[in-house]
A and B are shown apart, each in its own frame.
Chain A
Amino acid sequence: MEKLLIKRKQSYAYSFKRRFSASKFLLLMIIPAIIYYAVFCYAPMYGVLIAFTKYSPKKGIMGSVTDNWIGFDNFKFIFNYPSFWTAFKNTLIIGSLKIIISFTSAILVALLINELRMRFFKKGVQIIVTFPHFLSWVVVASLFRLTLSETGGISYLVQQLGGQPLKFLSDGKLFLSLLFSSDVWKEAGWSSIIYIATMAGISTDLYEAANIDGASRIQKIWHVTLPGIRPTAILLLIMSVGGVLSAGFDQIYNLTGSLNNAIVLDSVQIIDVLIYQGTFGGGGLTMGQTTAIGLFKSLVGFILVITTDRIAKLCGERGII
């Protein structure tokens, strides 16, 4: 028995060596990736230590950690900082509404395209609705800003019909609706693709059986198509939950014209905007404090993903982790 164990160990060592030399080329190929992820992903993770320091650029991260360690003072500060909680609340509201709206709009568009029977029109529509995804938020925001501005065409039309000029860019509530609608405009078509592909994979037997049972089209959608895309939908939902605290810095930055729209900025002041302005925009926060906010955001996002994953698994779905 013991001999056998030794033999197995030896053969393991042997195969380890052999595997090592056999995979020299692959190991060589992976070296850049190791360096890349170490430098651009793991070094910043190490950098979060400055959240526990009074960071001084002169001393650098190491120096600040040894000389200026202040424990949880930065966290105490941000948790007592009113703007932080406003931003946190805004982020949660905007982020979760965005997830719900984009989730439902993508499935809706997918259902519409999937059910449509005009092949030619279907192809054309798919090209059109997926296109905006590939535009930057700079372009999309510019399009919306110019089309919907108070002096723009739509506002003019509303005024001609006897309404008030539209204040999408100078009214907090209307601006929020602009946030959601531009998100749907840009992403709904593209996000629907994955659902359309999943729908195409649903067995036709199920539809035939439904036909025999005399199901209407709506009933077939409800009892066959939707259950068919459920695993995909839940997977995508779990993935998107991690981003709830991101809530779209790109979009807000551009729709407010480089954060220059002070009137609406209050209603869309999200965590990322707070971090950006606090550090670079004269917001008066120290780097230690904004790093603490960032770390808090990462942690909450991480916990949210894990929790959603667990809940999904408890409900008998396939999780991601």
Chain B
Amino acid sequence: MAKIKIDKLPLARKERPGPSNRFGGFDVVLFIILLIFALLIIFPFYYLFVVSITPQEIYVNNPLTLWTPKITFDAYKSVFNDSRIWGGLKITLILLFGGTLYQMFFTVITGYALSRNNWVGKNFVMNMILVTMFFGGGLIPYYILIKTLGMINTIWVMIIPGAIDTFNMLLMRNYFASLPKELEESAKIDGANDVQIFVKIFLPLSLPMLATVGLFFAVGNWNSWYNGMLFNSSQNLKTLQQVLQDIVYTPSSGIPNPGKIRIDDESMKMAAIFFTIIPMMLFYPFLQRYFVKGIVVGAIKG
């Protein structure tokens, strides 16, 4: 069976033959513009990292610290000593693993069912789902619903309402639909039942797309704060992002006080931000192609 190569996406057009194919002034201009754009994106990360390892008194004298003469990990120490961070990390990790699995399960089976032809009521269900992409009840009825379901101030409110993401579900559906129909037919002739066809044939063939959708969900869960902010008020249900909000949005005094670690130090804020993005920074370069695959497939077929 032909292996689906995910890294062979047609992202870069083949170099075209022609008289103007030499590296010229135009390319230099393009290069410089893109370089500036890339540097503008990198700059805040770089700046925040440098400040997070700079002693507070140096930062206060020169807020534009792009290079630190003295490295200190005090800010990280105060982040690690902050119980809120660990509490937030715990909730976020529950969402990351539990939530992602739960969402994957429901999204994938729905996508599979909608990718198969010829079952009673398929068009009706499909239209019912598509309508929700363009029209919704709004915040207040949703709030009342969550309240009626008794999910206020529980961790469930950050998991259960996310069962199916329509966009990801359509990604899965399109992928399943793109696999050859003969697979199903020949498996049936060999005596496989519906469950076996799904689990043993379609799921293994869809691993690249499962990875993409899983990653989309995982990122969403890592970044989750909105439902928590809206529905939960208890401190020990706060996600990492909510804890970050608490830390960063509290105004700092801006007064240097050497020797003592202050909770509201600028560098501590920056260390806290860095703490929440470091996993993404480590994994993203290697996973980028899966994300790209998802959006390309989704938009071309969806």
Residue numbers of A with Cβ under 8 A of B are: 16, 19-20, 22-27, 29-30, 32-34, 36-37, 39-48, 50, 57, 60-61, 109, 112-119, 121-122, 124-132, 134-136, 138-139, 142-147, 151-157, 160, 185, 189-190, 193-194, 196-197, 199-202, 204, 207-208, 211, 216-217, 232, 236, 242, 250, 254, 257-258, 260, 272, 275-276, 279-280, 287, 290-291, 294-295, 297-298, 301-302, 305
Size class of the B contact interface (CB-based, 8 Å): 35 or more
Q: 29 A-B contacts, Cβ less than 8 Å apart? A: A23-B119, A25-B193, A27-B113, A27-B119, A39-B145, A40-B145, A40-B163, A44-B141, A47-B137, A112-B33, A116-B34, A117-B27, A122-B12, A125-B34, A130-B291, A131-B284, A134-B284, A134-B291, A138-B225, A138-B245, A139-B276, A139-B277, A147-B44, A200-B11, A201-B10, A207-B16, A258-B249, A291-B140, A298-B136
B61 to chain A, nearest CB (A): 10
Q: How far is the CA of A40 from the CA of B113 in the complex (A)?
A: 20
Q: Chain B residues near A142 (CB, 8 Å)? A: 244, 248, 269, 273
Known: A37-B129, A146-B266, A185-B41. A197 touches B18 (CB 8 A): no
B125's partner among A33, A121, A131 (CB-CB below 8 A) is A33
Q: Chain A residues near B71 (CB, 8 Å)? A: none
B249 contacts A116, C-beta separation under 8 Å: no
Assess whether B299 is interfacial by the CB under 8 Å rule: yes
Known: A132-B41, A142-B244, A143-B48. A275 touches B300 (CB 8 A): no
Kindly identify, within residues 29 to 54 of chain B, every residue whose CB is under 8 Å from any CB belonging to chain A: 30-31, 33-35, 37-38, 40-45, 47-48, 51
Q: Chain B residues near A46 (CB, 8 Å)? A: 137, 141
A275's partner among B41, B125, B140, B193 (CB-CB below 8 A) is B140
B65 contacts A32, C-beta separation under 8 Å: no
Known: A128-B41, A151-B63, A305-B134. A217 touches B120 (CB 8 A): no
Q: How far is the CA of A211 from the CA of B139 in the complex (A)?
A: 55
B245 contacts A254, C-beta separation under 8 Å: yes
**Closest residue to A196 on the B side, CB-wise?**
B11
Known: A47-B141, A125-B38, A302-B134. A208 touches B16 (CB 8 A): yes
A17 to chain B, nearest CB (A): 10
**Closest residue to A279 on the B side, CB-wise?**
B140
B106 contacts A130, C-beta separation under 8 Å: no
Assess whether B211 is interfacial by the CB under 8 Å rule: no
A136 contacts B225, C-beta separation under 8 Å: yes
A126 contacts B288, C-beta separation under 8 Å: yes
B45 to chain A, nearest CB (A): 7
**Closest residue to A152 on the B side, CB-wise?**
B63
B13 contacts A200, C-beta separation under 8 Å: yes
B270 contacts A146, C-beta separation under 8 Å: yes
Assess whether B4 is interfacial by the CB under 8 Å rule: no
A208's partner among B17, B143, B285 (CB-CB below 8 A) is B17
Known: A19-B119, A250-B226. A156 touches B269 (CB 8 A): no
Q: Chain B residues near A156 (CB, 8 Å)? A: 62-64
Kindly identify, within residues 161 to 218 of chain B, every residue whose CB is under 8 Å from any CB belonging to chain A: 161, 163-164, 169, 193-195, 198
- Candidate in B44, B47, B48 with the most chain A CB atoms within 10 angstroms: B44
A291 contacts B38, C-beta separation under 8 Å: no
Assess whether B1 is interfacial by the CB under 8 Å rule: no
Known: A138-B245, A143-B48, A193-B292. A276 touches B139 (CB 8 A): yes
A47 contacts B140, C-beta separation under 8 Å: yes
**Closest residue to A254 on the B side, CB-wise?**
B245
**Closest residue to B195 on the A side, CB-wise?**
A25
Assess whether B234 is interfacial by the CB under 8 Å rule: no
Q: Chain B residues near A23 (CB, 8 Å)? A: 116, 118-120
Known: A119-B12, A136-B241, A196-B11. A45 touches B225 (CB 8 A): no
B43 to chain A, nearest CB (A): 8
B15 contacts A26, C-beta separation under 8 Å: no
Q: How far is the CA of A136 from the CA of B244 in the complex (A)?
A: 11
B163 contacts A32, C-beta separation under 8 Å: yes
Assess whether B2 is interfacial by the CB under 8 Å rule: no
Q: How far is the CA of A272 from the CA of B168 in the complex (A)?
A: 25
- The 10 A-B pairs with the shortest beta carbon distances in the complex, nearest first, are A47-B141, A294-B138, A44-B137, A23-B119, A136-B223, A25-B194, A257-B249, A153-B64, A211-B18, A44-B141
Assess whether B258 is interfacial by the CB under 8 Å rule: no
A114's partner among B13, B20, B144, B223 (CB-CB below 8 A) is B13
**Closest residue to A257 on the B side, CB-wise?**
B249
B220 to chain A, nearest CB (A): 9
| A interface footprint on B128-153 (CB within 8 Å = 1, 0 otherwise) | 11001011111111111100110000
**Closest residue to A256 on the B side, CB-wise?**
B249
Assess whether B260 is interfacial by the CB under 8 Å rule: no
Known: A27-B119, A130-B288, A290-B140. A197 touches B27 (CB 8 A): no
Assess whether B112 is interfacial by the CB under 8 Å rule: yes
Q: Chain B residues near A121 (CB, 8 Å)? A: 31, 34
A88 to chain B, nearest CB (A): 15
B38 contacts A129, C-beta separation under 8 Å: yes
Assess whether B254 is interfacial by the CB under 8 Å rule: yes
**Closest residue to B18 on the A side, CB-wise?**
A211
Q: Chain B residues near A154 (CB, 8 Å)? A: 64
B35 to chain A, nearest CB (A): 8
Assess whether B110 is interfacial by the CB under 8 Å rule: yes
Kindly identify, within residues 268 to 302 of chain B, every residue whose CB is under 8 Å from any CB belonging to chain A: 269-270, 273, 276-277, 280-281, 284-285, 288, 291-292, 295-296, 299-300
